[in-house]
Amino acid sequence: MIVDLLTYAQVKPVMNQVEIHPYHSQSELVEFCHKVNLQVTAYSPLGSFVDLPAKPIKDPVVLKIAAAHSKTPAQILLRWSLQRGLIAIPKSVNPAHVLENIQVFDFELSAEEMDVINKINKNQRFIEPSGWWGVPYFK
Ligand SMILES: NC(=O)c1ccc[n+]([C@@H]2O[C@H](COP(=O)([O-])OP(=O)(O)OC[C@H]3O[C@@H](n4cnc5c(N)ncnc54)[C@H](OP(=O)(O)O)[C@@H]3O)[C@@H](O)[C@H]2O)c1
């Protein structure tokens, strides 16, 4: 659909906003968008508000890297997004979390840590409106 759009759009799109976190890393889409000069925004970068037992913010791989950097799991998820060249838009109603979520510019994940996090991808969306709206949104 993006290729189609780029063939005729007189005003080229500059941003694609999609669900991205380590359980839904969207590597091919990100690589393609960057190749055609489209920035990518990661929505639900912490794995969304949906409450499930298995979430990237609770993943043992993320917890271990967080402990190694004395950072929180949320900060690791956001740093992982930033180092992939993404714009991440976490949401919080908790002022302490809002502050925490911007303190991600004073450390760096190693290539090995990035790789380990990349490997926990499950192609799992938490935001799946098909069921909520009765529209086959991602099908
Ligand atoms: N374009 C689209 O179709 C689309 C779709 C979905 C979402 N979005 C946008 O993406 C943004 C974020 O998405 P989202 O709210 O679904 O997911 P998210 O930012 O990945 O996760 C939000 C959840 O994470 C918690 N949280 C935030 N900071 C935290 C921290 N430091 N430590 C622990 N928990 C933390 C929040 O709880 P607390 O409030 O208690 O901190 C909330 O439950 C929103 O602005 C939303 O509008 C866009």
pLDDT digits (tens, 9 = 90+) for 89-136: 999 999 999 999 999 999 999 999 999 999 999 999 999 888 888 888
| CATH T-level fold of 2-124 | TIM Barrel (3.20.20)
pLDDT recorded at residue 133? 86
Strands (E), 27-134: 39-43, 87-88
Domain boundaries, the chain: 2-124
The pTM score is 0.96
Shortest-distance atom of ligand 1 to CA 126? 16
CA gyration radius, the chain: 16
Which residue's C-alpha comes closest to atom 31 of ligand 1?
97
pLDDT at 139 exceeding the cut of 80: no
Cα 45 to ligand 1 centroid, rounded to whole Å: 7
pLDDT digits (tens, 9 = 90+) for 21-49: 999 999 999 999 999 999 999 999 999 99
Q: Any residues with Cβ below 6 Å from ligand 1, and which?
A: 17, 43-49, 72, 74, 89-94, 97, 100-101, 127
d(CA 103, CA 69): 13
d(CA 63, CA 51): 18
- The count of other CB atoms within 10 Å of the CB of residue 48 is 19
Average predicted confidence (pLDDT) for the chain: 96
